[in-house]
């Protein structure tokens, strides 16, 4: 892994001629376009879905694996499909719960050099593989009517703050965001309040209303259902 990273760094400092730059960039543009087209084509047909984010490293015997499975199952019983990152851990648990609930189970899998195989609980026609993280994130944000975020690492935080930022800046609709697991998220929430809101004032007080922190699957599903009840909207499948 270290040698692979070193080669990437060295390559970034190499001088390239214009024809090489043009050739490489042109190929990348077509690959990116192809991923967007594939994602838009498949996901535009799936109906209302909730994206569930969380760690690929969470083992089956951990409480958050069971919690992800439970919340996905209950979301499908409320009429939602479930979208995950397609991998193991929390993602696998959520796809498994969606399958058990006879709901739509979508996986947006990212192809990585040394990890992440798609889990077996994704509907065969709803597995999409991506090379580019940013294309994959667009699909999460464009085709989700809500977000449930369980404990995870840097990737999970990236997805969470992408959703909050796009909602805060009115680039997407104000869809419900639920952080599931107070033990895990409580410290981050308190830091956001103390450091960002109160001390540095880098966010508005109302920005804390963009997400909820809960402890149970029932609370998470209720938050999403109550949000849409205000608009007299329900999932249509």
pLDDT digits (tens, 9 = 90+) for 32-49: 999 999 999 999 999 999
pLDDT on residue 2? 55
pLDDT on residue 27? 84
Q: Which portions of the chain are predicted below pLDDT 70?
A: 1-24, 113-116, 231-237
pLDDT on residue 112? 77
Threshold 0.85, pTM exceeds: yes
What CATH number labels 15-229? Answer: 3.40.50.450
Report in angstroms the alpha-carbon separations of 158 from 13, 71, 151.
27, 21, 12
pLDDT on residue 150? 98
pLDDT on residue 236? 44
Q: Which stretches within the chain are classed as H helix?
A: 2-12, 18-43, 63-77, 90-100, 133-142, 154-168, 182-191, 217-229
What is the residue extent of each domain of the chain?
15-229
């Amino acid at each position: 892994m270290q040698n692979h990273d070193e080669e990437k760094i060295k390559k970034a400092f190499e001088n390239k001629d214009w024809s090489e730059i043009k050739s490489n960039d042109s190929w990348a543009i077509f690959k990116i376009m192809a991923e967007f087209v594939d994602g838009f084509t498949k996901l535009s047909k799936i109906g209302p879905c909730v994206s569930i984010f969380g760690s690929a490293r969470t083992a089956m015997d951990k409480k958050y694996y069971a919690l992800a499975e439970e919340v996905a199952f209950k979301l499908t019983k409320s009429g939602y499909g479930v979208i995950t990152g397609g991998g193991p851990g929390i993602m696998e648990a959520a796809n498994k719960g969606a399958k058990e609930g006879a709901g739509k189970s979508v996986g947006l899998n990212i192809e990585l050099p040394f990890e992440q195989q798609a889990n077996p609980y994704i509907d065969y026609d709803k597995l999409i593989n991506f090379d580019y993280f940013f294309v994959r994130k667009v699909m999460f944000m464009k085709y989700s009517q809500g977000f449930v975020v369980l404990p995870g690492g840097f990737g999970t935080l990236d997805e969470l703050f992408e959703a909050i930022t796009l909602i805060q800046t009115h680039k997407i609709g104000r869809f419900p965001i639920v952080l599931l697991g107070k033990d895990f998220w409580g410290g981050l929430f308190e830091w956001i309040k103390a450091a960002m809101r109160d001390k540095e004032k880098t966010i508005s007080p109302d920005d804390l209303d963009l997400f909820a922190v809960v402890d149970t699957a029932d609370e998470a599903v209720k938050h999403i259902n109550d949000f849409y009840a205000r608009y007299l909207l329900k999932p249509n499948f």
